[in-house]
Structures are given as C-alpha cells and as structure tokens.
Amino acid sequence: MKIDDSYINMTLISNSKDAAANKKTEEQAAQAQGLEKRPESGAEVDFSKASVEFSRAAEAVEKDAMERAERVNQIKAQVSEGTYEVDASKIADKILKDAILTLTEP
C-alpha cells in the first residue's frame, strides 16, 4: 500500500511540474500572439489587442452618437421655433464637391 501511495504522490508532483511548464509556454504563446493579460478580482482574462481597440472604438462611437443626438435635438428645436438658418453657400459648395467627385470617379 505504501508503494501505491508514493507512486500516486510522485505522479501528482510530476503532473504539477508539467502543468507549471505548460502554463509558462501558454503565457509565452499569448505574448507572441499579442494578447494582454488583465487580472480582475483574482481571475485572469486574456484580451487581444484587436478586441481592446474595438472596445475603445465602440466607446468613441457611443460618445459621438450622444453628441450627435444632442445636436439633432438642438436643430429640431430651432426648426420648430423657426430660428434655424441655412447657409446657402455651404450647401452649394457641398453639391459642387459631390458632383465633381461623381464625375471624376472611374
């Protein structure tokens, strides 16, 4: 019986060494692939650089959407009050630029 117990203990020790070695190679592979590690409350999570960039872009779009909605509401209020003024020269410039781009496209 003692032999069996010692064999089991040796196997466990051997497996834990292998597991530690595997963990190191996994961490090295993650670094090579450009993954960032961010520990959070004792847990470890890997985020790729692309997902981090996507998250930042989504935050920027959300911020822009909020600003845009605010601007649209301001314009709606001005239109309903009759105080919204249109700059005809800006509209003409935009029409001409779009026409030129359309004509010069292959």
The CB-side HSE value for 84 (13 A sphere, CA atoms) comes to 12
Any domain includes 75 = yes
**Dist CA 84 CA 75 (whole Å):** 7
Task: For residue 26, tell me if it sits in a domain.
Answer: no
Q: How many domains does the chain have?
A: 1
Q: Give 47's contacts (C-beta < 8 A, 6+ positions apart).
A: 35, 36, 38
32, part of any domain:
no
Question: Is residue 62 in some structural domain?
Answer: yes
Domain for residue 82, yes or no?
Answer: yes
Does residue 55 sit within a domain? yes
Structure tokens at 3: 């032999």
Tell me, yes or no, whether 74 lies in a domain.
Answer: yes
For range 30-34, the mean pLDDT = 61
Q: Is residue 2 part of a domain?
A: no
Between 43 and 60, residue with greater pLDDT: 60
Q: What's the pLDDT tens digit per position in 68-102?
A: 999 999 999 999 999 999 999 999 999 999 999 99
The H or E element spanning position 60 is helix 49-81
Judge contact between 46 and 35, C-beta under 8 A: yes
Measured CA to CA, the distance from residue 80 to residue 58 in angstroms comes to 32
| Domain of residue 66, residue span | 49-106
pLDDT attached to residue 73: 95
